[in-house]
Structure 1
């Protein structure tokens, strides 16, 4: 059989969930009753079941769609190849309507060599995912093809331009007749060349690949396909969210006389404003009391500033656990000079956290390769990140590039190591002359809600100041795969973090002039200026180690017991309550890194 050339439809309007008539979100798939495969009194089963991506029927759909697409757009020079859609557009899922008699099926399975499919009375495939809901499904590849063609060619993304039977009930009979007549053609075996696809078919919304790699996910996934989001994950994904910082994250905090390093133990709201319970880092013999911060401007992300040198030069290049802390606290290495053993402990502990990582909320039943595990989130150094949100990438030059995580995959390695792969679409931030006459023409990009709202804010600032500028995130690479060293850290909204990093007055001055910069340009990257080795930690407790009290507890927020979110100042008067860890919620926290291009600030001194 001739090789199939895969291509990807980058854009998608597919929805895993839709809002029904009762204003309630519902899965965009067959109903629960339709999924019930319980036989009736006579043993008859009438139900729907999902068709897996590697199922023969799913592959057949993708081959037919590939043949139709290239027959219409490929031209004669591409007529000697077979094509296949690498994956259905994101949000679209094939379901099969089956009817059979369970008793007859059981009997036929006992007959050696007889294929069970022969007893099925009905096996019809339907494609769900259209934004109009479960009742608007596609019945065949030819039925879906006009919609796929619109996804890949209409730059405006206006559904009114789509000629499929759902978007345009009258349809486009000419295109429909063409695709019904087309079917994939078997051809002679020919070597697969390495040449790129011709410009005329490499349209903005399509990527044609020269060889046949494993299938990839082409667009942002608005909801996890394999599992639902946790409550905390949903909270952190909301645009204009209440919190900038997350439990378990390493941050700088204002200690009145200076800035220190600590970890967020829990967060909450008072008068609808965020507050945080912080545990300062220290050496193992001088654990500090917790602090409550009710003002987010008194906190900075770890990557906002670079780590300074230790006050004792001899321990500067040691790891936290290599330091003889008993000798240090006895003053045996201070050479008669004033030293700060608490500060030194926090600096070295922060470097360990920065170079460590752990993953959490494993997705059971995920389609994974041998030795692989999929997770919903991880602690990447100082920060906590989730599947479904963007992370900043390291790239040459000054371009701002992010990857929107669709999968977090870990493959086990030697002790304290593993291979972590971030899978997702890569986008570059672009500034250009505005192509729109007014705001009513502005499109809504298929991006995570936080990115959509942030982009809208920045374009509104430029538009109000009549700058004639348009900002957008431009897709560079769909279904990309990146490793730990490629990720700089979390992506933050301009409107929420930049006033803190730049100062409110400077930020408002820039807004009035129509200028907004990305918060990421004012931050460092994980493991910048940090020689500590990369380490896979068992959990967040293991990562924080002896730099915090042994009974410190990092809250799981909405995913854990409500009692864990109670602040000491709202509990009955008593001795300062211990902060203790829950083992089950700390097994999955990320790795912490250090800064390259940022400022260094510690003990009240700003270092350039």
Structure 2
């Protein structure tokens, strides 16, 4: 842990800020900081590391930046009573909102940090730290306190928020040369050389402030937002001086407007309404899930073909599951009557196949495997049905199917088809609900989807159809980031600065549950911060569905809070992790059952809605004689003597909750 400073400092508290942690550049929403690749601290093949590290508030570098900025700020605007010594013991309490420091780390092959001229905590103005947050994107970063100070001074002093009044290198990249007093040229008969008289330290160059041995900082000249810039005073010259040619100024940028959240779309069916409600159904019809099989005390992979609530007891949920297998097996459907016997596909990491042959040929897909040969023992020992379920789930992870078309429009020759939902990989996603995103350095940003659009390029030349996609699917919605506020008095927690009525109910209830532990334990209150509205992303940027911490991740959340590790950990896999494909849109399928192919019996039907079956499911399927007592060491599939999988390979999401109270505001 970084050591706190022992010297007492006068704190300066922040004013306004134009910082943005997410920017929209040419239609692309980007995290305003180092990219995900730049944050990767893993060494390369030569053992060298080259990455960016977040500098926290109590780090010596962070303190060094804030001490310098606070001192320069007090010296410039604090008045004569602070000129002598107060500015040397002044510190900016915090950087302007959404401005974040990162350090560029480079190491040698032996792990030692390379020797550089830049300092690590003080002594010089330049260092290997970069300040991100400027509203023009991550490439516009400040390299030192001196470089950032003119912008900070503008934030503190310019009431018009006119970027034309800021003289920092980002707002005014083409700085005019400062006007200098004209120098009288003296001629002597005996000398033919010209003598130039330079300004002395006692007569500083206009436009600059010089105080003792401190860094020279250019101070912005206040000028009206509309009209020519004010001229600096100059000494009248003895001889005429040609007027300088005006330098074209950089195009101004506008102050970011206040974000407005998008109105949520209304559900179009009782099924969609249930999925947008808190603590109704964990899994959905058409999804791939892990399900507990009491007869074998094992967890298997299957397709949810139907779900309903028991009459007279709506809190009880029932799911009819079709196990996944190979084409030469027709396993019967099984009934699950509790959410505790279900886990989303992305909650756990798939284990290795049981056949050594399949382990040695990981490039094989479900469609390429000789399942008949595996069943006959031609490829050694293993369980074909278990391996088929794993490989089928991976294959489905790389597909998508749009459903419930709402309307069709056109734009610049492109047909736009709007849908109410999409099966993305193993999951079913509706408009109006949150999804997890790949963008951003935190890895925990969410988008609340308000539209799903397929862009069909019907006018693409025929010769290009083989090399270019004929369609592209994008999602539109608001992006939220997890944020916290200090809550020193748990009995009276603060209110978030954004009052938002368009946050989905599931997110609101879940955050209320988290804060019942966070506020008294950590003296912080968490909330969902709107960071971008009406953004467009490709479906490849979606990790998967968002699941409530209060329902799926109670144990890791509680552990993280007690260990002071925060309350928004990443406890779930992403779509593409199991296959190693990572970020990808996937292959379209005309309907949901087509995505499963021969991994389910031919003629399998998905029954939408929440109505219970007219006839009770067979007694054999209804039997649920035992609970999964010890999750560690359970078997998966049939024939436990052949296929034992430790659930240490899976993510631990064993505990589900039902609390839905709302004690704190959001």
State the TM bucket, normalised to the shorter chain. 0.5 to 0.7
Equivalent in the alignment of 1:172: none
Equivalent in the alignment of 1:319: 365
Cα distance in 1, alignment partners of residues 635 and 576 from structure 2: 17
Equivalent in the alignment of 2:186: none
Contact 1:461 1:515 in 2 (8 A): no
Which has the larger Rg?
A: 2
Equivalent in the alignment of 1:345: 388
2:457 corresponds to 1:410:
no
Pick the aligned partner of 1:460 from 516, 520, 528.
Answer: 516
Contact 2:416 2:455 in 1 (8 A): yes
Pick the aligned partner of 2:602 from 527, 546, 550.
Answer: 550
Equivalent in the alignment of 1:469: 524
Contact 1:404 1:424 in 2 (8 A): yes
Mapping 1:177-576, distance limit 5 Å: 195-197=252-254, 201-202=255-256, 205-206=258-259, 218-224=260-266, 229-238=268-277, 240-256=278-294, 257-270=297-310, 271=313, 272-315=315-358, 316-334=362-380, 338-365=381-408, 370-395=414-439, 397-412=441-456, 418-434=471-487, 438=491, 442=495, 445-446=500-501, 447-463=503-519, 465-499=520-554, 502=555, 517-518=567-568, 521-531=570-580, 534-558=586-610, 562=611, 565-566=612-613, 570=616
1:364-390 Cα offsets, whole Å, 9 max, x none, are: 255766222110100110111111111
Cα distance in 1, alignment partners of residues 647 and 578 from structure 2: 17
Cα distance in 2, alignment partners of residues 366 and 332 from structure 1: 55
Contact 2:436 2:542 in 1 (8 A): yes
Contact 2:400 2:422 in 1 (8 A): yes
Cα distance in 1, alignment partners of residues 373 and 434 from structure 2: 44
Q: What is the RMSD computed on CA atoms of the aligned residues?
A: 3.7
Pair 529,576 (structure 1): closer, same or farther in 2 beyond 3 Å? closer
Which of the pair is proportionally richer in helix?
Answer: 1
1:116-147 Cα offsets, whole Å, 9 max, x none, are: xxxxxxxxxxxxxxxxxxxxxxxxxxxxxxxx
When the two structures are superposed, what TM-score results if normalisation uses the length of structure 2?
A: 0.50
Contact 1:434 1:470 in 2 (8 A): yes
Contact 1:445 1:452 in 2 (8 A): no
Could you say what secondary structure the match of 1:377 adopts?
Answer: strand
Could you say what secondary structure the match of 1:604 adopts?
Answer: coil
Cα distance in 2, alignment partners of residues 485 and 524 from structure 1: 15
Aligned residues: 371
Pair 329,476 (structure 1): closer, same or farther in 2 beyond 3 Å? same
Cα distance in 1, alignment partners of residues 366 and 579 from structure 2: 13
Contact 1:258 1:604 in 2 (8 A): no
Cα distance in 2, alignment partners of residues 417 and 262 from structure 1: 32
2:651 corresponds to 1:606:
no
Pair 298,507 (structure 1): closer, same or farther in 2 beyond 3 Å? farther
1:287-327 Cα offsets, whole Å, 9 max, x none, are: 21111111211111100111222222434321111112222
Pair 418,323 (structure 1): closer, same or farther in 2 beyond 3 Å? farther
Equivalent in the alignment of 1:214: none
Pair 194,264 (structure 1): closer, same or farther in 2 beyond 3 Å? farther
Cα distance in 2, alignment partners of residues 496 and 231 from structure 1: 21
When the two structures are superposed, what TM-score results if normalisation uses the length of structure 1?
A: 0.54
Pair 385,436 (structure 1): closer, same or farther in 2 beyond 3 Å? farther
Pair 365,421 (structure 1): closer, same or farther in 2 beyond 3 Å? closer
Cα distance in 2, alignment partners of residues 575 and 296 from structure 1: 20
Structure 2 unaligned residues grouped into runs of 5+: 1-21, 23-158, 166-247, 458-464, 623-632, 637-643, 650-666
Pair 567,575 (structure 1): closer, same or farther in 2 beyond 3 Å? farther
1:385-417 Cα offsets, whole Å, 9 max, x none, are: 111111001135444101111111112365897
1:169-213 Cα offsets, whole Å, 9 max, x none, are: xxxxxxxxxxxxxxxxxxxxxx9965432xxx436x24xxxxxxx
Pair 473,339 (structure 1): closer, same or farther in 2 beyond 3 Å? same
Could you say what secondary structure the match of 1:522 adopts?
Answer: coil
Cα distance in 1, alignment partners of residues 532 and 607 from structure 2: 36
Pair 346,77 (structure 1): closer, same or farther in 2 beyond 3 Å? closer
Cα distance in 2, alignment partners of residues 313 and 378 from structure 1: 36
Could you say what secondary structure the match of 2:551 adopts?
Answer: helix
Contact 1:284 1:547 in 2 (8 A): yes
Could you say what secondary structure the match of 1:371 adopts?
Answer: strand
